Structure 1
Amino acid sequence: MASLVSKRAIVLKPENVAQFVFFMRGEKVMFDADLAMLYGVEVRSLNQAVARNRKRFPADFAFQLTDDELAALRSQLVISKSPTSQASSRLRSQIVTSNTGRGGRRYLPYAFTEQGVAMLSSVLRSTRAVEVNIAIMRTFVQLRRLMDANRDLARKIEALEKKYDEQFAVVFEAIKQLIT
């Protein structure tokens, strides 16, 4: 239980919560183990609460990873930028190094989309759950804004490239005419 208390010390700011957000199946998701840690509950308790309220979690709110997705996640962690990176070691300990003997995960992890995380607040009714959900929603909003800003920047760069490509085409045509 002492480990849960120390894990609760995570400051709930969007930049701190963002380390727990991953892209899978074209969605931003958070894994059950990360959510349980943030909420200060056991993974088993979180998943049991979800199972008791299954109708509140359709496939676009929460889904269980497939063996292939877990293998892909495992391979991403193996080739991650640093073997000692915090996210890599955290995920490796939660998901990848499952032990089929005693301890470790005996099932594939669950991933929760933004809507699924929001729905968790109706299932986990504690002050901590409310605080965590507010921080997570702010994180998702911040990530959405960053993605929109990146899309706008990409469009502007593409427009500039097109403009300069056209101008260079005119210059190359003029050079070609001078040569011939």
Structure 2
Amino acid sequence: NPDKFPSTYMFQLSKDEVEILRTKISSTNYSAKSRSLPYAFTEKGLYMLATILKSKTAINTTFAIIETFAAVRELKRELVELHKEGDKEEKHSKMQHFGEILTNIVMPDLETTETESSLELNFIIGKIKHSVKRVKR
């Protein structure tokens, strides 16, 4: 499926990189007699690959990508609403909700024991600081 993998999704390894790969991983099936150099996927390419493959891991990765994308879209909507809000109390409530969404995107699997984490962002409309206290799952 070359149409699904533009140049920013994969790249061709150099001869030196292939040699390093062959010395580091003994199970590499790349033959020295091969006429072309192999390709490697970038992070974006791996995500695209996950949408094509049918393994359980690939399916779970695709679900995670979709969930993150939906959360980012919600974050965008929340930021627009926050910018429009005039009421101080309502704005504070929306900032809190915005911070929760952002924390779940940036630190979804935070596993700590009874500690607080802070996330602070500066936007044109103001500064948002959000503290989260999470307990180990």
Structure-1-length-normalised TM-score: 0.28
User: More helix per residue: 1 or 2?
Assistant: 1
User: More strand per residue: 1 or 2?
Assistant: 2
Higher RCO structure (Cα 8 Å, ≥6 apart):
1
